[in-house]
């Protein structure tokens, strides 16, 4: 799994933090406040989008006249405090700490907001783990476009072929593959297409304990 891997790139929501249910609830509450029902296909439709692209999508699909900036601000307010109490994936902190001790350059490639992610990392005492945070909004292209993964690799000084990406969505796995990177699918119970995501990736894990044992095998 980690043979010839020099850099590690992680998605954030659903891959490291159990936050997908939170975002589903935000969409339901946001639309409900405007007298709208949340369509069943919404989560799949916006998979991989940054918040700016999500806001533009909401404007088009739900005929909203609110500005992109106001929607992003409202979503950020709705989720911010809740993020600090969300659980992280089982074994993820131990895996990140071990990889850091072994001097792997690590970056985040996320559709979330950079400032919010940085604040959550600081709250958990994990700021030192990641050398870079690349976002879909920063590069101007949502997953499955490869841009955010390539930017993450660039920021940590790695070639794409030397990186492996941890992702929980099909669009994320696809984007990483388009970037020329190897992939590890991370199980998330809130994703309804796990078999599809798993089969599209090079490797898969149900928790980070397995990944930790695999990476330890290179040193012990």
- For the stretch 181-213, pLDDT in tens is 999 999 998 878 999 999 999 999 999 999 999
| CATH for the stretch 20-83 | 1.10.150
| Cα angle: 176, vertex 75, 39; to 5 degrees | 75
**CATH architecture of residue range(s) 7-18+86-216:** 3-Layer(aba) Sandwich (3.40)
pLDDT 10s digits, 110-122? 999 999 999 999 9
Nearest to 22 by CA among 121, 112, 139, 140: 112
CB 182 within 8 A of CB 164: yes
Q: How many CA atoms lie within 13 A of 146 on its CB side?
A: 12
Residue 146 vs residues 13, 29, 36, 150, 191: alpha-carbon distances, Å: 18, 31, 33, 6, 21
Model pTM score: 0.90
> Start-end ranges of CATH 3.40.50.1000 in the chain?
7-18+86-216
């Amino acid at each position: 799994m980690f043979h010839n891997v020099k850099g590690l790139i992680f998605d954030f929501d659903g891959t490291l933090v159990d936050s997908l249910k939170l975002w589903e609830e935000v969409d339901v509450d946001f639309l409900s406040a405007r007298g709208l029902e949340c369509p069943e296909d919404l989560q799949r439709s916006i998979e991989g989008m940054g918040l700016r692209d999500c806001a533009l999508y909401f404007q088009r699909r739900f005929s909203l006249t609110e500005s992109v900036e106001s929607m992003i601000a409202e979503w950020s307010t709705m989720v911010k405090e809740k993020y600090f109490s969300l659980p992280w994936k089982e074994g993820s902190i131990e895996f990140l700490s071990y990889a850091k001790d072994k001097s792997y350059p690590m970056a985040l490639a996320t559709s979330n907001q950079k400032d919010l992610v940085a604040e959550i990392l600081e709250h958990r005492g994990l700021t030192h783990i990641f050398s870079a945070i690349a976002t879909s909004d920063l590069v101007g292209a949502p997953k499955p476009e490869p841009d955010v993964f390539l930017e993450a690799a660039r920021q940590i000084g790695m070639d794409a072929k030397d990186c492996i990406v941890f992702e929980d969505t099909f669009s994320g796995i696809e984007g990483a593959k388009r970037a020329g990177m190897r992939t590890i699918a991370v199980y998330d119970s809130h994703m309804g297409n796990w078999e599809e995501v798993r089969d599209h990736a090079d490797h898969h894990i149900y928790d980070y304990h397995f990944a930790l044992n695999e990476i330890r095998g290179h040193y012990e």
